[in-house]
């Protein structure tokens, strides 16, 4: 694997749980992905010539070790090959000073027309992955609870609205709503590719926590009063479409599997006015004692509240 990125964890990347936030793992992998795509023949110059852009439409993450402020992290990776018009790549983030694996990723990227945003055919040169950049997924990076299969995309918004009610507390389930602002869009009025749709969902919390380390998962209490939070073990985000400026977006989340210490959640995003599905986000989170830094059983009170948004038929 090639080293594609190296950076140090900064104070503003630490979230409410005291460790590197998920979106900053993704930022590192996105930089590595752009560099890898350029090495495979899709540099900015080539994209400008073809009036095309790159869209990362499938991102699977498996988190292994927490990372903290000051850690120097490297991103290694390579290309797995092409499936249809999608380039599949593998990346891993490592902490070389501690000789530990922080996280692994499997991404899918497509080439799209800059005007229409429609997927276009990959150049022949990109389909011929050479030995320098070709890799395979190591056994230790294989999905554990989630899969790389395609999830169902035929679930109508109306059905989910009937199943999932309003949610007042910040979390992984329930309903959320937000508006796509013009400042987050390009000249064409479409949400820019460097703006994660999930960021729009959590914008207010992230902005409020910019100076107070408040952004990130909520800090909760067990029935015994211990501080805990939901630490991510795996996530996968599949992008189906990009919203436009002024679109009201509905996010609807449900737990699809609950164990003694963990939850598997799925969150759908829709354009409210049309019912168009924009994305599907899966996550597996574990209840973590924030002082002992270890997994703990889900308390009875929390478990009872989770039952309101439990749809195991989608597991």
Residue 178 and residue 202 in contact, taking contact as beta carbons nearer than 8 Å: no
Separation between Cα atoms, residue 184 and residue 205, nearest integer Å: 17
* Same domain assignment for residues 80 and 160: no
Separation between Cα atoms, residue 19 and residue 66, nearest integer Å: 6
- DSSP label at 158? H
* Same domain assignment for residues 213 and 238: yes
Separation between Cα atoms, residue 244 and residue 52, nearest integer Å: 19
* Same domain assignment for residues 93 and 193: no
Residue 262 and residue 256 in contact, taking contact as beta carbons nearer than 8 Å: no
* Same domain assignment for residues 250 and 114: no
Domain count, the chain: 2
* Same domain assignment for residues 95 and 227: no
137 CB burial (10 A radius; 0-12, 13-18, 19+): middle
DSSP string, 33-91: HHHHHHHTT--HHHHHHHTEEEEEEEEEEEE-S---TT-EEEEEEEEEEEETTEEEEEE
Instruction: Print burial letters for 66-102: b (CB count within 10 Å at least 16), e (below 16).
Output: ebeeebebbbbbbbbebeebbbbbbbbbbbeeeeebb
* Same domain assignment for residues 312 and 290: yes
Separation between Cα atoms, residue 114 and residue 309, nearest integer Å: 39
Of the residues 142, 165, 183, which one is the last residue of a structural domain?
142
* Same domain assignment for residues 238 and 129: no
* Same domain assignment for residues 46 and 130: yes
Query: What is the reported pLDDT for 302?
Result: 87
pTM: predicted TM-score of the whole model, two decimal places: 0.87
Rg (CA), the chain: 20
* Same domain assignment for residues 246 and 191: yes
Instruction: Print burial letters for 185-208: b (CB count within 10 Å at least 16), e (below 16).
Output: bbeeebbebebbbbebbbbeebee
Residue 267 and residue 213 in contact, taking contact as beta carbons nearer than 8 Å: no
Could you tell me the residue range of the domain that residue 186 belongs to?
A: 147-315
* Same domain assignment for residues 113 and 170: no
Q: What is the pLDDT along the chain (315 residues), one digit of tens a residue?
A: 899 999 999 999 998 888 998 889 999 999 999 999 999 889 889 899 889 999 999 999 999 999 999 999 999 999 999 988 999 999 999 999 999 999 999 999 999 998 888 899 988 878 777 677 889 999 999 999 999 998 889 999 999 999 887 764 546 788 888 899 999 998 889 998 778 887 777 665 555 544 445 566 778 888 888 888 888 899 999 999 999 999 999 999 999 999 999 999 999 999 999 999 999 999 999 998 988 889 999 988 888 888 889 999 887
Count of alpha carbons within 13 angstroms of residue 193, beta-carbon side: 18
* Same domain assignment for residues 163 and 105: no
Of the residues 142, 163, 198, which one is the last residue of a structural domain?
142
Assign residue 212 the CATH number of its domain. 3.10.129.10
Of the residues 142, 162, 191, which one is the last residue of a structural domain?
142
- DSSP label at 121? P
* Same domain assignment for residues 213 and 91: no
């Amino acid at each position: 694997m090639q080293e594609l990125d190296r950076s140090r964890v900064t104070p503003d990347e630490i979230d409410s749980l005291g460790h590197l936030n998920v979106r900053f793992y993704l930022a590192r992998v996105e930089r590595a992905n752009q560099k890898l795509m350029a090495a495979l023949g899709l540099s900015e110059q080539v994209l400008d010539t073809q009036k095309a852009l790159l869209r990362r439409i499938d991102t699977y993450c498996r988190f292994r070790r927490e990372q903290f402020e000051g850690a120097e992290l490297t991103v290694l990776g390579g290309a797995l090959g092409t499936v249809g018009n999608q380039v599949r790549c593998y990346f891993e983030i490592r902490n070389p000073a501690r000789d530990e694996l922080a996280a692994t990723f499997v991404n899918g990227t497509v080439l799209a027309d800059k005007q229409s945003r429609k997927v276009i055919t990959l150049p022949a040169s990109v389909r011929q992955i050479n030995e320098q950049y070709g890799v395979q997924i190591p056994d230790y990076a294989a999905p554990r609870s989630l899969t790389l299969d395609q999830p169902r995309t035929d679930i109508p918004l109306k059905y989910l609205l009937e199943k999932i009610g309003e949610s007042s507390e910040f979390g992984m389930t329930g309903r959320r709503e937000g508006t796509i602002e013009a400042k987050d869009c390009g000249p064409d009025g479409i949400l820019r590719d460097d703006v994660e749709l999930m960021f729009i969902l959590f914008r207010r919390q992230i902005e409020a926590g910019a100076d107070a380390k408040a952004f990130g998962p909520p800090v909760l209490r067990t029935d015994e009063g211990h501080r805990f939070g939901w630490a991510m073990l795996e996530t996968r985000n599949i992008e189906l479409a990009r919203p436009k400026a002024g679109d009201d977006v509905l996010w609807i989340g449900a737990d699809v599997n609950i164990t003694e210490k963990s939850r598997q959640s799925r969150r759908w995003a829709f354009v409210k006015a049309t019912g168009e599905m924009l994305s599907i986000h899966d996550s597996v989170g574990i209840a973590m004692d924030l002082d002992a830094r270890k997994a703990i059983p889900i308390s009875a009170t929390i478990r009872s509240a989770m039952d309101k948004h439990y749809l195991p038929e989608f597991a």
